[in-house]
């Protein structure tokens, strides 16, 4: 009987941890404008990082590494962030802005943004 109670306790603990993990992984989505601004700052544009806590070069590179998958080199990460900046800054690519923003939202453990 002790084994049954231990198994039940372990199962309850596992389910609790899974619920906490899934809740923390569902932070509110951030807008394409948020990501557009922060990618631009990373690439040397004017302004400062936004967010609470504030984004940083390290956080932006971390998100890019997650989006790229595997073990990208630093050069690949930087190139990807510049690619995103190029798309964000060209209104001819505004149809891609939501998709790019949601790449970053997913990498940051946030929900997808929708119009």
User: Per residue of the chain (115 residues), what is the pLDDT tens digit?
Assistant: 454 554 444 444 444 444 444 455 689 999 999 999 999 999 999 999 999 999 999 999 999 999 999 999 999 999 999 999 999 999 999 999 999 999 999 999 999 999 7
Q: Could you give the CA distance from residue 61 to residue 107 in angstroms, rounded to a whole number?
A: 11
Does the residue 115 lie in any domain? no
31 backbone φψ class: left, alpha, beta (φ>0; ψ -120 to 50):
beta
Residue 68 lies in a domain: yes
Q: In 3-state terms, the chain is what percent helix, strand and coil (to 5)?
A: 70, 5, 30
Tell me if 43 is assigned to some domain: yes
- Please, what is the angle between helix 57-68 and helix 74-89, to 10°? 100
Q: What is the pLDDT of residue 24?
A: 53
Q: How many domains does the chain have?
A: 1
Residue with tokens 């984004």: 55
- pLDDT given for residue 26 in this prediction: 85
Is there a domain that residue 50 lies in?
yes
- Evaluate whether residue 51 is within a structural domain: yes
pLDDT score for 5: 52
Q: Please report whether residue 80 resides in a domain.
A: yes
**113 assigned to some structural domain:** no
């Amino acid at each position: 009987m002790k084994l049954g109670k231990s198994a039940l306790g372990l199962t309850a603990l596992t389910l609790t941890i899974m619920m906490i993990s899934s809740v923390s992984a569902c932070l509110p989505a951030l807008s394409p404008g948020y990501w557009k601004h922060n990618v631009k700052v990373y690439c040397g544009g004017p302004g400062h990082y936004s967010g609470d806590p504030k984004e940083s070069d390290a956080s932006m590179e971390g998100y890019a590494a997650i989006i790229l998958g595997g073990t990208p080199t630093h050069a690949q990460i930087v190139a990807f962030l510049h690619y995103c900046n190029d798309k964000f800054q060209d209104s001819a690519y505004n149809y891609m802005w939501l998709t790019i923003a949601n790449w970053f939202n997913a990498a940051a453990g946030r929900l997808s943004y929708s119009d």
